[in-house]
């Protein structure tokens, strides 16, 4: 049997299993908004751990991570550094958010913020900014899935078909079962990804160079510039420390502000589960090490992939691994793409309906749930169209997505910890921060010290929030007590 | 250990981590060699800080849990 047929069979089995798990998971869930969006707040430690880990590790980590290690060397280490930093504050923030969620019935981030700072416009603004950051992110996940399938089937399954089948399945289980399906499929996909990454990451350096240390010794000897921190830019020049450090900072601040991750705080069964997820999360981060090793193993390899993002499928195919391994790898990469894509689709629909539409039109629970399901389809279809026609501006938009998302951190922290903050202060800060980030993204030549536009945005955002809050009338004690107590 | 001390130490660890994995704290450790367990020095340096984060948070959790059980409401 030809290799691509074996590979296709394995992928089909894998996708069938994912669909089954996704559909079965939703059967125990209540037919309410809290059920669809927050899985009736029922997730235990195992599911929470993998939901969080697998949603963070997307096609970007699985394909982009090795791509960076391969083409930009030490620059990739920034991806390793920020996760633990971004997650640690949630040991305290997470349970606080969860407690407020239980008390007031919040299921989204904007509901938490506007529970403290009542404003329909603020809610709509958060929904809009979330959606702007979400669509390109989903698009890249879909394209990632399509690229992997096309590469390992020798082009017999083209991108349009591969991404349509993979995401048809994602949409099917997100539509029918919501958060519960996302949780259980991510657990399955997370385990799969970790096993595949470690086995290939340890196998390739050994098979090609006779060991990990041996591989790096050879890279240092032949490409010393690559491993010299902070690594290289996309065009092969030395990267700046300002960019390297601010990428870590903006990613750490933005990490848990992504609505699809923040909302996980509302899905946990209890505070202990949430805290343990935070404690264990850095162990998921270490899984980037084998992923980078795969990328590094391509550096001194004869021949090169069409673009650095293809380094992983390229290495798998060039080293003539058995078809079974290629198929399993492909399923691992699909896991990475789909486990983030499903969370993104689910969160974007929940956010747009709950925080956008529902604020201006009154809908009953049943209609809300139907509307969310419609939006999952619409967002999926929009991203699918973009995924077929790779528009370079979308990739640029994704790079700036973290700059937008990081702007959610000050409103969230102000809502939770600063009693003197006011609604006007928060709106003014958010607009000023997002506008600044947008300006420096459009005009990178003005960025001071090559610092990421999201950080420059925060440097404007925070003072505006504080000054406008202090200049406006404080919130009443009754309102504050009702929110906190 | 008191709750306050544990929290200050845990927060302090992560601030120190932020300092030592970005500029300028990373500079003395920003080098490819010597290799540590086969990995470039900087990569191993960051991995050690991540592993430390798991330990620090686990210890913090023990102290926090003890205080929650001993009666003192959650802060």
Residue B71's pLDDT is: 56
Contact residues, B window 19-58, toward A, CB-based 8 Å cutoff: 21-24, 26, 30-33, 35, 37-40, 42-43, 46-47, 49-51, 53-54, 57-58
Select the CATH number that applies to the domain covering A3-391 from these four: 1.20.1730.10, 3.40.50.880, 3.40.720.10, 1.10.10.10.
1.20.1730.10
pTM given for the model: 0.86
* Mean pLDDT score of chain A: 85
Residue A356's pLDDT is: 84
The residues of chain A scoring below 50 in pLDDT are none
Domain ranges of chain A: 3-391
What is the C-alpha separation between A390 and A393, in angstroms, rounded? Answer: 9
Residue A396's pLDDT is: 57
Contact A227 B40 (CB under 8 A): yes
- Per the CB < 8 A criterion, the answer to whether A380 and A116 are in contact is no
Residue A248's pLDDT is: 92
Nearest CA in chain B to A293: B39
Q: Is B57 exposed, middle or buried (0-12, 13-18, 19+ CB in 10 A)?
A: buried
Determine the residue among A208, A226, A229 to mutate to test chain B binding: the one whose Cβ has the most chain B Cβ atoms within 10 Å: A229
Contact A216 B51 (CB under 8 A): no
The residue count for chain A: 485
Is the backbone of residue A178 left (phi > 0), alpha (psi -120 to 50) or beta?
Answer: left
Residue A398's pLDDT is: 63
For residue A401, give the nearest of A288, A263, A258 by alpha carbon. A258
Residue B41's pLDDT is: 94
Give the mean pLDDT per block of 10 residues along chain B (75 residues).
Answer: 89 94 91 90 94 92 84 48
Contacts of A224 in chain B (CB under 8 A): 32
Which residues have C-beta within 8 Å of that of residue A272, sequence separation ≥ 6?
B65
**For A420, what's the count of Cα atoms within 13 Å in the CB-facing half-sphere?**
8
Residue B73's pLDDT is: 46
Contacts of A91 in chain B (CB under 8 A): 10, 57, 60-61
Residue B74's pLDDT is: 47
Contacts of B15 in chain A (CB under 8 A): none
Contact A228 B26 (CB under 8 A): no
Contacts of B39 in chain A (CB under 8 A): 212, 216, 289
Tell me which residue in A84, A220, A275 faces B32 most closely, judged by beta carbons: A220
What is the C-alpha separation between A60 and A62, in angstroms, rounded? Answer: 6
Give the distance from residue A255's alpha carbon to the nearest chain B alpha carbon, in angstroms.
15
Q: What is the ipTM of this complex?
A: 0.90
Peptide bond into A456 cis (omega under 30): no
Residue B14's pLDDT is: 94
Summarised one tens digit per residue, pLDDT across range A127-151 is 888 888 888 788 888 888 888 888 8
A277: enclosing H helix or E strand: helix A271-285
DSSP, res A413: H
Domain ranges of chain B: 3-69
């Amino acid at each position: 049997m030809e290799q691509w047929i074996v590979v296709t069979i394995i992928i089909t089995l894998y996708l069938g299993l994912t669909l089954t798990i996704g559909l079965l998971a939703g059967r125990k869930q209540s037919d309410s908004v809290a059920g669809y969006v927050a899985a009736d707040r029922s997730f235990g430690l195992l599911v929470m751990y993998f939901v969080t880990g697998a949603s963070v590790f997307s096609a970007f980590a699985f394909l982009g991570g090795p791509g960076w290690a391969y083409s930009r060397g030490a620059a990739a280490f920034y991806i390793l550094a920020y996760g633990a930093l971004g997650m640690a504050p949630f040991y305290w923030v997470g349970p606080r958010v969860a407690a407020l969620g239980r008390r007031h019935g919040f299921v989204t981030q904007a509901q938490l913020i506007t529970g403290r700072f009542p404003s329909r416009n603020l809610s709509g603004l958060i929904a809009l900014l979330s959606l702007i950051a979400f669509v390109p992110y989903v698009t890249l996940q879909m394209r990632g899935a399509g690229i992997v399938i096309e590469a390992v089937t020798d082009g017999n399954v083209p991108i349009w078909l591969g991404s349509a089948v993979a995401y048809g399945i994602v949409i099917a289980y997100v539509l029918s079962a919501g958060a519960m399906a996302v949780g259980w499929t991510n657990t399955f996909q997370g385990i799969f990804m970790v096993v595949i990454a470690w086995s290939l990451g340890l196998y390739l350096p050994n098979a090609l160079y006779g060991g990990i240390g041996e591989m790096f010794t050879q890279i240092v000897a032949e490409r010393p510039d690559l491993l010299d921190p902070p690594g290289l830019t996309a065009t092969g020049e030395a990267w700046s420390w300002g960019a390297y450090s601010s990428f870590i900072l903006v990613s750490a601040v933005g990490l848990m502000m992504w609505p699809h991750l923040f909302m996980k705080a509302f899905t946990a069964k209890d505070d202990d589960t949430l805290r343990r997820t935070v404690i264990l999360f850095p162990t998921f981060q270490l899984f980037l090490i084998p992923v980078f090793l795969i990328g590094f193993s391509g550096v001194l390899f004869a021949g090169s992939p069409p673009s650095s993002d293809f380094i992983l499928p390229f290495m798998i195919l060039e080293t003539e691994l058995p078809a079974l391994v290629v198929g399993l790898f492909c399923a691992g990469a699909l896991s990475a793409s789909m486990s983030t894509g499903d969370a993104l689709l689910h969160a974007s629909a929940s956010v747009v309906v709950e925080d956008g539409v529902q604020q201006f039109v009154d809908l009953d629970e049943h209609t809300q749930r139907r509307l969310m399901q419609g939006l999952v389809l619409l967002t999926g279809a929009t991203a699918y169209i973009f995924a077929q026609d790779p528009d370079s501006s979308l990739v640029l938009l994704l790079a700036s997505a973290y700059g937008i998302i990081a702007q959610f951190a000050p409103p969230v922290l102000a809502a939770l910890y600063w009693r003197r903050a006011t609604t006007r202060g928060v709106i003014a800060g958010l607009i000023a921060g997002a506008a600044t980030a947008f300006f420096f993204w459009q005009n990178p030549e003005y960025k001071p010290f090559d610092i990421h536009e999201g950080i420059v945005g925060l440097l404007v955002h925070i003072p505006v929030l504080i000054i406008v809050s202090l200049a406006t009338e404080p919130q009443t004690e009754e309102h504050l007590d009702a929110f906190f107590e | 250990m008191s709750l306050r001390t544990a929290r200050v130490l845990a927060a302090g660890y992560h601030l120190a981590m932020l300092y030592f994995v970005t500029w300028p704290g990373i500079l003395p450790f920003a080098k490819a060699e010597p290799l540590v367990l086969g990995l470039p020095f900087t990569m191993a340096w960051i991995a050690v800080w991540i592993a430390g984060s798991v330990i620090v948070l686990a210890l913090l959790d023990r102290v926090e849990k003890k205080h929650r059980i001993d009666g003192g409401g959650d802060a």
